[in-house]
Structure 1
Amino acid sequence: MPVEIVAGVECKKLLTDEIDGGDLSELETQYKKLMASDSKSLLKKHLTQEIFDNLKTKKTTFGSTLFDCIKSGLENYDSGIGIYAADAEAYSVFADLFDPIIEEYHSGFTKTDKHPAKNWGDVNSLGNLDPTGDYIVSTRVRCGRSMEGYPFNPC
């Protein structure tokens, strides 16, 4: 099995294109529990039996499976969405599930739509939003970055 070093961690890049039997059995069990739950997640809404059956054995070239992408939603029924792309290729391999979820979550933004050009305005015209310090207790800015050619999830 080929090995890559990513951020000092040895990652095995899988070359098989199907999920193993033990994981498949667990995935099927967890899927049935999700469908029987009162979850209102987009995952439950869009992961029909037909889509599940079509995607459940597929893998990306990094070895990411449907199970990897939906594990959070299978464990947290209160999740609003319930799916995370394990790597960039997951968006295409599992497009039958990702596309309708993304479209609904982003109110009709389809895979053929393009993001509008960035326009942050004139940053010099931004004023102090709380000059007396009475309203803003704290703020946080979070940035994330993915590197092309590497999986998003832990190895």
Structure 2
Amino acid sequence: MILLSDIASRSAPPQRNQDVAVRAVAAPATICLPYRPESVAAARRFVGAKLREWGLDDLMDDASVIVSELATNSVRTGCQTRMLVAVRRPSDRVIRILVGDGSRSMPVMVETGPGHTSGRGLAMVHRLTRGRWGVTPLPLGKIVHADLTVPEPTSR
């Protein structure tokens, strides 16, 4: 049986020719949070702290929106277990944010009009990740992941 914790604990193998400094700080991080509205802010702080540790402050705003939307969707499932939030660095050019929950309901991107007060979350995730997000269904829930591209370092 595949569990949320099994998926989140997997880390990518080291990349060839990867910068030693990147490998040293790219340790993945995972946290379990209760299904409460205040967990969305905790998820933002968690991902933000990891990005600061990795020196990726330029991705903070986009990552904050992404994890907020995914965690909010997870909180709304009404699950009674724990929500999993993880951040990975599968390569030196990619940050992956994962949010897992105990619901098998798949996220759906919907079109909204100007009068709608909600429903834009996955469209924002789609736009910020340039379509690089997806869902892994599990026997006891799902994990939604979203990938952000790390900007090229600027030479001085």
Higher RCO (C-alpha 8 Å, min separation 6): 2
Question: TM-score, with normalisation over the residues of structure 1?
Answer: 0.34
Q: More strand per residue: 1 or 2?
A: 2
Question: TM-score, with normalisation over the residues of structure 2?
Answer: 0.34
